C-alpha cells in the first residue's frame, strides 16, 4: 500500500479544510515545495496535490507550483482541481504531474471524460469519487449530486478506469478515522476489474488507521491533516516505509 501525503493549495500556500468547507481554511506552510521535499526525505514516493483554487474556480490556477515541485523532487505527482479539458491535462503533464484526478468533469460531462480516457489512458487518469453520504459531490464539494458513489464508480470502471480516489467528505479533516465501510464497498465494486486500485482519503489520524486500511487490501492512503498537526509524524512514516522495504 502506498503512503501518499497530501498538499492542498489556496493562494499558493498549504492549507487544510474540514469537511470541504473553505471557511474552515487553516494555513500550515507558505512553501508547498519545501513541504514536498520534506515528504520525499521521509521516504515517500508519491504526492497527492489538490488545487483548491482551481476546484473552486473551475480552472487550473496553481500549475506553477506543480512545476516547481516536479523540478525539486522525484515524487510521483497526482493532481486534482479545476481540470476541464484535454488542454488542462496537457498543461499538468507538461508541468511534471504523472497522473490527474477527474472528479467534477466526470460527473458533468461523461462524453468528454471518456474522450480524455481514450486520449491519455487509465495509467494517467484517476477517478475522483468524493461523496457526502452515498452521493457524489463536485465543484470543490460545494455541490452534492444525485449520483450514487457505487453507480459512478461502476460506470467508469466498466469504461476503462482502473484507479479511484474516494473521500468521505464527512470524515475529511476531522481526524476521527476513515470511512472503512465506504472502502469496503469500493473494493467489492472494483475487485472484478484486473489491475484496479482503491485509494482511501479523509479521516486518517493514526498509524493504526493506516495499518487497518492496509489489511483491507487498499492500494493507497492519502494523509493530510494528521501530518500537518503531527498526529502522525514524518519519522513514523519513515519507519513504517523502511520496515516495509526491509531496511
pLDDT per position as a tens digit, 199-224: 999 999 999 999 999 999 999 999 99
Indicate the CATH number for domain 2-244: 3.20.20.70
Which pLDDT score, from 0 to 100, does residue 141 have? 77
Q: What is the mean pLDDT of the chain?
A: 93
Rounded to whole angstroms, how far apart are CA atoms 86 and 207? 38
- Whose CA is closest to 226, among 9, 4, 2, 77? 4
The mean per-residue pLDDT over the stretch 82-90 comes to 94
Which pLDDT score, from 0 to 100, does residue 247 have? 62
DSSP at 205: -
Q: What strand order describes the sheet that includes 143-148? A: 131-132, 135-138, 143-148
The mean per-residue pLDDT over the stretch 58-84 comes to 93
The cell for 201 is 482519503
Rounded to whole angstroms, how far apart are CA atoms 84 and 21? 22
Rounded to whole angstroms, how far apart are CA atoms 203 and 178? 4
Which pLDDT score, from 0 to 100, does residue 139 have? 74
Which pLDDT score, from 0 to 100, does residue 57 have? 85
- Whose CA is closest to 103, among 72, 64, 132? 132
Between 125 and 139, whose confidence is greater?
A: 125
Between 52 and 162, whose confidence is greater?
A: 162
The cell for 127 is 477517478
Catalytic site positions = 8, 130
Q: How big is the chain, counted in residues?
A: 247
Which pLDDT score, from 0 to 100, does residue 181 have? 96
pLDDT per position as a tens digit, 133-180: 999 998 777 889 999 999 999 999 999 999 999 999 988 877 889 999
Q: Is 161 helix (H, G, I), strand (E, B) or coil?
A: coil
Please report, for residues 44, 93, 97, 216, the alpha-carbon distance to residue 1 in angstroms, rounded to integers and kept in the order given: 12, 24, 20, 10
Between 48 and 24, whose confidence is greater?
A: 48
Q: Pick the range with the lowest mean pLDDT from 49-53, 65-69, 235-239.
A: 49-53
Which pLDDT score, from 0 to 100, does residue 246 have? 76
Which pLDDT score, from 0 to 100, does residue 59 have? 85
Rounded to whole angstroms, how far apart are CA atoms 57 and 147? 22
pTM of the predicted structure, to 2 decimals = 0.93
Q: Where are the domains of the chain?
A: 2-244
The mean per-residue pLDDT over the stretch 103-111 comes to 94
> Where residue 15 falls among pLDDT bands split at 50, 70, 90?
confident
Amino acid at each position: 500500500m502506498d503512503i501518499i501525503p497530501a498538499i492542498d493549495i489556496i493562494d499558493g500556500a498549504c492549507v487544510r479544510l474540514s469537511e470541504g468547507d473553505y471557511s474552515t481554511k487553516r494555513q500550515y506552510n507558505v512553501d508547498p515545495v519545501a513541504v514536498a521535499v520534506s515528504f520525499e526525505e521521509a521516504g515517500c514516493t508519491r504526492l497527492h496535490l489538490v488545487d483548491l483554487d482551481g476546484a473552486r474556480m473551475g480552472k487550473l490556477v496553481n500549475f506553477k507550483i506543480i512545476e516547481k515541485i516536479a523540478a525539486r523532487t522525484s515524487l510521483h505527482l497526482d493532481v486534482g482541481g479545476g481540470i476541464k479539458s484535454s488542454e488542462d491535462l496537457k498543461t499538468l503533464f507538461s508541468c511534471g504531474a504523472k497522473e490527474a484526478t477527474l472528479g467534477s468533469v466526470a460527473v458533468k460531462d461523461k462524453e468528454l471524460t471518456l474522450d480524455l480516457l481514450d486520449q491519455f489512458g487509465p495509467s494517467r487518469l484517476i477517478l475522483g469519487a468524493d461523496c457526502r453520504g452515498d452521493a457524489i459531490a463536485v465543484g470543490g464539494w460545494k455541490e452534492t449530486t444525485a449520483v450514487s458513489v457505487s453507480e459512478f464508480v461502476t460506470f467508469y470502471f466498466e469504461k476503462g478506469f482502473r484507479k479511484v480516489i474516494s473521500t468521505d467528505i464527512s470524515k475529511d479533516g476531522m481526524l476521527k478515522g476513515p470511512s472503512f465501510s465506504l472502502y469496503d464497498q469500493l473494493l467489492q465494486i472494483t475487485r472484478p476489474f484486473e489491475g484496479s486500485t482503491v485509494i482511501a482519503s479523509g479521516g486518517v489520524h493514526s498509524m493504526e488507521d493506516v495499518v487497518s486500511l492496509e489489511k483491507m487490501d487498499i492500494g493507497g492512503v492519502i494523509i493530510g491533516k494528521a501530518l500537518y498537526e503531527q498526529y502522525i509524524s514524518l519519522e513514523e512514516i519513515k519507519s513504517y516505509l523502511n520496515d516495509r522495504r526491509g531496511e
